[in-house]
Every structure is written in C-alpha cells, then in structure tokens.
C-alpha cells in the first residue's frame, strides 16, 4: 500500500531530524582525546578560550594561524553567539600588536547621533555634549586593534568615514579641520548578510569590498556538535569559579539532553544555560547537574495539566519510540534494525546511547 501524502511528509520530517541527531552523536564520538584535529594549530597560537576538538573549530584555528601574523584588516562573519569577539581577541593577542590596546565597539549599541563622536572623537563645541575634546575609539586603539562588532549597523555617514580610514589611514574628528593619522588594525564582525545589505542600499558597496578582503567565518554550534560536551563542562568550571561553587558533574541524562538539543543562540546560549544550571543545582544542594537544571521548563511535575511538547521534544519522543519499537520487533538485532530504519549500524548504537534504551 503506498504512503499517503501526510505519512510521507511525516517520514521525511523524521528522517531529517534523525539525520541531524545522528550527525550530532557521531560528531560527539570524534571528541575523544586521541582525535584532536586542533592540536597542530594550538601549538602555533594561544587559543585556550576556544574550547573544542571539532573539524570546524580546527578550520577556524587554521584561519587564525594564517592571518594572525599579517597586519591587515579582517572581517569575521557568522551567526550571533558564535564567539566572534573572542576570535578577534585571540587574533590580537597572538599578532604583532599584542602589547598594544584592544578596543571593542558594538556599533549597534551606539546611538546614531553619537556614533561618529564615539569612533572618531570630537573637538570642543563640535556638538552639544562636546564640552571638551572627546577621544574616539580610533585614537584609543592607536598602535593596537580596533574591533568593530556588528559593523553592518553603522550609519551611512559613519560608513563613509570608516572607508576613508581604511583607505588612507586618516580620519577627521568631529569639528576638526585637519585630518589625523591612525595606526590601527581593524577587525570587523557581522552576523548579517552584507551583500544583501549592499543590495538594499543599507551598506556601502565600496566599504563592503574593502572589508571583505580577508573574511573568516566563525562556525555555528550546529557545525561543531562534538564540542558541545566539552564546552558544557568548561562552562561549569567557569561558572563554579565565578560563584564560588564546587564544580558538579552532569548526570548522563543531562549531558545527553545537552548534546542533542538545538542551540540557535550558539555558544552564548549554551554558556548561559549551563551557568543557570550551575546556580540551580547548587541552590538545591544537588550532587550533580540534572536535566531539569538545564531545561527547567521541560519538567513541571507539580502542574496537573501536562505542558505541550516543543517540536524538538515531540521529534525526540517519536524517534525514541520508533527506535525502541523497531529493536523489540527484530529482537534487538542491530543489523536488522539498521536495515529497517535505513541507517548505519553505528547510528543505531549512538541513538541507543543517546536515548538511554536498554533491552527488557
């Protein structure tokens, strides 16, 4: 009997989720100590703050090794929360300007009316709040590195001045009649599609090409899932030290949930979730960090009405039930289960571990 359109759609959705889950679990297996593609690059640069041993992280470290010694501007791209500011700091700390200032500006956080003054400074009387000469970030970063985070949010006037700085190494503070020379390395970062911003007229095309000479993409957490348990344990250590707590271990179920969860906010979201879990676990005087400490909204046994499942929870439940039912039907013959589900035997083993299945 052929599949109905609804059944086919459900099967395709399940296959997509299963493939993603299997990829995550296989990547986590590659995080074993003997398999560390980042080792060679870590011998060349100091990058302890970049935790992980994934291939994606190794590729990023390779870029850092290649670009750090070259005193040239860099554009960091990647999703929000991936750690672009951390990468910028590592490039500075390992580069020829490491003994000089590292000055960071979040372009999205500076009011439009003040962005030029913030970046380039202002002479007395240049605007209503300039009662005395204002030192801009470019001057503050002299001989060092100026990191422009969320550079796509710069106003068009400030974009023009930034372009002049990149082209001529000079700039005009607000109200100044003479240009000033600048000796800074500029690292810019964005999580936006700059090409789309150019097409929409929100970003100067000439500035885009000036920044895009040496682009470096910082991978999302979905691309380095094998690093998730390492990052989670690292963040436990950091949070415990910050709050004066003993570093608690994760329970097996908590760690499995962390490994298979979606982290759209990337490393930043994972860090905040683990930090909150450390606080909750210590507040309860627990001996380990449980799943409910990391994902508190998923477990509310005190409520009478069951809470609706998220898409991710429903998908995991479907995957677990299908795998358990298939294993029971084939007498826990892994090869037969793999054939029936049309996945590799290794996928079956990793899914069994992830879902905590045992033969009854």
Q: What is the per-residue pLDDT across 200-238, written as a single tens digit (0 to 9) for each?
A: 999 999 999 999 988 999 999 999 989 999 999 999 999
Domain assignment present for 66: yes
DSSP string for residues in 213-224: TSEEEPPPGGG-
| Domain total in the chain | 3
Same-domain pairing of 251 and 269: yes
For CA atoms 223, 231, 30, 336, the dihedral sign is negative
Domain termination residue (choose one: 163, 193, 219):
219
pTM: 0.72
Query: 194-202 long-range contacts, Cβ below 8 Å, gap at least 24?
Result: 194/77, 194/152, 197/152, 202/152, 202/156
Same-domain pairing of 65 and 197: yes
Q: Give the H or E element holding residue 105.
A: strand 102-106
Same-domain pairing of 69 and 194: yes
Domain assignment present for 336: yes
Domain assignment present for 47: no
Same-domain pairing of 342 and 243: no
CA separation for the pair 66, 9 (Å, rounded): 46
Q: Give the H or E element holding residue 270.
A: helix 266-283
Q: Give the CA count within 13 Å in the CB-facing half-sphere of 229.
A: 23
174 and 129 in contact (C-beta within 8 Å)?
no
Domain assignment present for 206: yes
Domain assignment present for 68: yes
Residue 104: domain span: 60-125+132-219
Domain termination residue (choose one: 253, 283, 298):
298
Same-domain pairing of 328 and 202: no
CATH number of 176's domain: 3.40.50.300
Q: What is the per-residue pLDDT across 129-157, written as a single tens digit (0 to 9) for each?
A: 655 778 889 999 999 999 999 999 998 88
Same-domain pairing of 170 and 281: no
Domain assignment present for 205: yes
pLDDT in tens, the chain (360 residues): 555 666 666 666 666 556 655 655 555 554 444 579 999 999 999 999 999 999 999 999 999 999 999 999 999 999 999 999 999 999 999 999 999 999 999 998 888 878 888 899 888 755 556 557 788 899 999 999 999 999 999 988 899 999 999 999 999 888 788 899 999 999 999 999 999 999 999 999 999 999 998 899 999 999 998 999 999 999 999 999 999 999 999 999 999 999 989 898 999 999 999 999 999 999 999 999 999 999 987 544 344 444 555 555 666 677 788 888 888 888 888 888 888 888 877 777 777 876 777 776
Domain assignment present for 335: yes
Domain assignment present for 215: yes
């Amino acid at each position: 009997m052929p599949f109905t359109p609804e059944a086919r759609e459900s099967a395709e959705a399940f296959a997509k989720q299963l493939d993603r889950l299997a990829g995550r679990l296989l990547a986590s297996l590659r995080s074993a100590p003997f398999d560390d593609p980042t080792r060679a690059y870590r011998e060349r640069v100091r990058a302890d703050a970049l935790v992980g041993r994934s291939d994606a992280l190794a590729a990023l470290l390779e870029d850092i090794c290649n670009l750090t010694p070259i005193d040239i501007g860099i554009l960091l791209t990647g999703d929000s929360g991936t750690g672009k500011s951390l990468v910028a700091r590592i490039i500075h700390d390992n580069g020829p300007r490491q003994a000089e200032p590292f000055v960071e500006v979040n372009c999205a956080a500076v009011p439009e009316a003040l962005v030029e003054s913030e970046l380039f400074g202002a002479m007395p009387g240049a605007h209503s709040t300039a009662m005395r000469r204002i030192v801009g970030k470019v001057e503050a970063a002299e001989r060092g590195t100026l990191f422009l985070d969320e550079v796509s949010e710069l106003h068009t006037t400030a974009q023009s001045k930034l372009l002049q700085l990149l082209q001529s190494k000079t700039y005009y503070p607000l109200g100044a009649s003479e240009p000033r020379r600048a000796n800074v390395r500029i690292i810019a970062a964005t999580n936006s599609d700059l090409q789309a911003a150019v097409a929409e007229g929100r970003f100067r095309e000439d500035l885009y090409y000036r920044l895009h000479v040496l682009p470096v993409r910082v991978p999302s957490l979905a691309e380095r899932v094998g690093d998730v348990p390492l990052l989670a344990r690292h963040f436990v250590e950091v949070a415990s030290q910050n709050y004066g707590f003993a570093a608690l271990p994760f329970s097996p179920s908590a760690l499995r949930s962390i490994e298979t969860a979606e982290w759209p906010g990337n490393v930043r979201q994972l860090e905040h979730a683990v930090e909150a879990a450390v606080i909750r676990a210590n507040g309860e005087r627990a001996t380990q960090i449980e799943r409910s400490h990391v994902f508190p909204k998923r477990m509310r046994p005190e409520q009478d009405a069951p809470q609706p499942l998220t898409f991710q929870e429903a998908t995991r439940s479907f995957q677990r039930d299908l795998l358990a039912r298939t294993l029971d039907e084939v007498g826990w013959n892994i090869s037969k289960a793999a054939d029936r589900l049309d996945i590799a035997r290794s996928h079956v083993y990793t899914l069994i571990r992830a879902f905590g299945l045992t033969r009854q």
